[in-house]
Chain A
Amino acid sequence: MSATVRWKAATMGMRNDPAVAAAVFVLWALLALFVVYPLAMLLVRVLTDQGGFTTAGLAAVLSDRHQIRAFGNSLLLALLVGSAGTALGFLFAFTAARGQLPRWLLTAIDVAVLLPLVSPPFTTAIAMIFSFGPRGLITYDLLGLKGVTVYGLASTFFSEVLTFFPIAYLTLRPLLAAIDSNVEGMAFSLGASRWRVFRTVTLPLTIPGLANAFLLLFAASLADFATPLILAGNQFPVLPTQAYLQITGLFDLRGGAALSFALLLPALAVFLLQRYWVSRRYYVTITGKGAGQTPFDSISPGMRAVLLAACALVALVVVYFYVLLLYASLVVALGANHAFTLQHYRTIFTDGLKAIRDTLIIAGLATPLGGLYGIMLGYLVTKKSFAGRRTMELVSMINYALPGTIVGIAYLIAFNDPPLELTGTALIIIACYIFRYGPTGIRATVALLQQIDNSLEEASQGLGAGSGATFRRVTLPLIMPAFFAGLGVVFIRSMTAISATIFLVSISWTLITVKILENITELSLGPAAAFSVLVVVIVFVVIAIIGRVLRLFRAPGAVPMTSLLGG
């Protein structure tokens, strides 16, 4: 009965609301323009030639041995990163959820894990070169190896795992924490050993989460552009970088589009698997009154030490990379001249000032708009009923789910000619960020609203409030955390993204991340490191501010936001 009640409540009295109709219309227009249209133009460009349908362009790319290798490499890398990153994420999540760690240690883990998530894309890659390159601190200075090459599968893999495993951690930790430890205790009391409890209870309950984490990492690695661009080298081409080189190097937009199209299929498969298969397989461990019990100590002291040591080792590597980055930004030339200097910072605040200013302006505009877009769309698709509601939600997720390379090339193709000539403007970059990263806010809003029982709005109505007053006084305050989560993600990504926007920057509008890439290719690693440090600092400051504001809005009873980074 409650299902019908809910359905009734959703349809009752909302249908003919002109404000809702207007909002839906505007959102559909925007989605059509900035999601559907570019993608359609990409398909048209790939699949037609002089007005006729043809797969010749696609076939040409897909039959090229070099490109087939790139395709295979992309999948291989994604598979490896997905597996290893999930394992590493699980290690951290399990240790954090089951290790009964003191509070400060949990915070330390969170910070170490958060660092890679908020960093510009090349940070681990730069640190890898500093450490393991031909003149690397470890390979050359420490081990005395000569002529080693850092470029290839191994270093790309290592760097991507370090960059992306936090996603697995953030997915798995709440899941592990939600498993009622009484369930494990029960198995233990039935005579199972700790290892057996883990194998037969804990792990099976986590499998949907592991699958989900794997798919997320697979997609992230598949789409990753920055790391392979720096570290993969000639011997290990992957699709996103090949597409980029095809366009910027060979000025072959159609070939690049076709290459990015080859990325579309695995990316889409992963997205659909994740959305329609994994998400339905979550177990809910229903718990009755269980608060206040001592949790079952699911790991032995020895195992706890081993797990902690493993986590500490990984965290140490992460921290080492960032310390190295900071150090590199403060010396003349790491590996050659270790004299202290502020020259690199002087450079980025003079030569690089335009990039910094542009990035901040673009992020400053994209962030509020993206946050607003997120809660508006999330609210409409959860609380209002209108035709095409599910479709709207699905369409809004497309740019978020697709690799940035595809989105960037699609925008480049779609907005290059009148009447929609937007290339070269800041607007195209802002739009790209809003529709690519705004969906995090949508998801946060939807998740929050689903936790808020309809009876809250009914209670407000019953007390005499109209629908406007109810929205203002009850619904809006409750979804504020989602708004700020959306803001946070759009800002972080606006500061750190490159895969899509590298195709959209121009002389008039450029970005810090693009500047970092230029520096790296010119081998001026000092300014690149300085830029990276700057971005990390800005992002941390802004996250701290958003966190502070969020706390103001979060009454002790409010629904907690699991993570600012959403997913």
Chain B
Amino acid sequence: METIGVHVDGVSKRYAHRVKGELYAARDVRLEVRPGEFLTLLGPSGCGKTTTLRMIAGYEKPDAGRIRFGGQDVTDLPANQRNIGFVFQNYALFPHLSVFENVAYGLRVRGQPDDMIAKSVGDVLALVGLAGYEQQFSSQLSGGEQQRVALARAIVIQPRVLLFDEPLSNLDAKLRVQMRQEIRDLQRRLAITTVYVTHDQEEAMAVSDRIAVMHQGSVVQEGTAADLYHRPASQFVAQFVGRMNLVAGRVAAIVGETVNIAALGTLISTPLPRRDLAPGDSVQIIVRPEAIEIVRGGDEKTHSGLLHATIVSRTFLGEKIEYSARCADEMLQIVRYNEGPGALIAEGATVFLRFAADALTVLGQTHREGRE
């Protein structure tokens, strides 16, 4: 079966809200999912990611815009004619049917002969590691097993597009990590074009080829996990993908391709991010907690150019240690790998901080968005 891409072209969905009047669940959403690609829609609850997914599936009809599978416009096609595989958050296994019949359902609807169904179902159950579970019912299965049945049921029909709606949110932490790896491996092996919805940024980064971050009904940034993490286009993305320190500053000078920003009581130099910055502009610097290096010992003279700070608290997490440091009246979160018992820094210690220069992101004030 040929692999096709999914094109979401300016799709909007409005709904009537009892108090706020008409709201957009999705607003002019544009997405290109390449053939065989794993794209994740990431965002907080209410951002429109599930609505977008359900429109791709055909469970919701967009008020505006078109959706195409490959060259075919499917906007007006009901879900049962789109040939999709959908995995629900609650799995939606048919409680009155056995595992076998659940998986066979789509094939029976397609009128396939029994012997072919038996073979396909057997193959796919083996693929998800559930061989031997044919006669069980969903109530007898663990969460992870139910998840696999839902997955098997979705892929056995060889869908053109595989869609996941927060499939792992009902599993416990360890199983979540295991299942997301299995989903990823399976998707690679079958090379099915996949759209995946989650609010968990770590999960999104672990499974996706590309991630589209959604906020208030729109896609605000699209890119690989590394793009989003290292080059967030807005405070919202920076805040949602990973953790960050947000430091206010002012452009002091621009020298060639470098900008000097007055912040934290000193001057911080970083490559010029945008052409439209001018001296005097207010900016925000985003610093990832792991991009701050702690330097112990020495004094102001030996460490000129470094930031002077006091360790306020320390959280020991085994492989890593989280510190809170006060630096020019701002609190900074710092994460360091645990390099051994000798490397622990006591609370109250005076230290110097160094920012990794290429790990800083500078945003102009215009990028400011409301915190959620």
Contact = CB atoms under 8 A, between A and B. Distances in A.
A464 B81 CA distance: 6
A484 B81 CA distance: 34
Contacts of B95: 478, 555, 557-559
Given A4-B15, A464-B106, A556 B137 contact: yes
B139 A557 contact: yes
Nearest to A480: B96
Given A1-B51, A460-B105, A462-B79, A557 B137 contact: yes
Contact of B83 (A453, A464, A477): A464
B153 A9 contact: no
A461 B79 contact: yes
Contact of A1 (B25, B82, B137): B25
Please classify the interface of chain A as helix (H, G, I), strand (E, B), loop, or mixed, using the class held by over half of its residues: helix
* Residue in A8, A460, A461, A553 whose Cβ sees the most chain B Cβ within 10 Å: A461
B157 A463 contact: yes
Please classify the interface of chain B as helix (H, G, I), strand (E, B), loop, or mixed, using the class held by over half of its residues: mixed
Interface string A447-468: 0000001011011111111100
B50 interface: yes
A108 interface: no
A302 interface: no
Interface stretch (B55-63, B344-352, B362-370): B55-63
* Residue in B96, B108, B139 whose Cβ sees the most chain A Cβ within 10 Å: B96
Interface string B177-219: 0000000000000000000000000000000000000000000
A177 interface: no
Interface residues of B, number: 45
Contacts of A474: 94, 96
Contacts of A466: 80
A464 B110 contact: yes
Contacts of B58: 461-462
A473 interface: yes
A462 B57 contact: yes
A5 interface: yes
A13 interface: yes
The bracket for how many chain A residues form the interface is 20 to 34
A557 B96 contact: yes
A453 B137 contact: no
B111 to A, nearest CB: 10
Nearest to A462: B86
A455 B54 CA distance: 11
A9 B80 contact: no
Interface in B75-117: 78-86, 88-90, 92-98, 105-106, 108-110
Interface in A529-559: 553, 555-559
A458 B79 contact: yes
B46 interface: yes
A56 interface: no
Interface string A553-567: 101111100000000
A469 interface: yes
A557 B92 contact: no
Given A459-B88, A462-B85, 7 more contacts: A1-B51, A5-B51, A460-B94, A464-B109, A474-B94, A555-B97, A557-B139
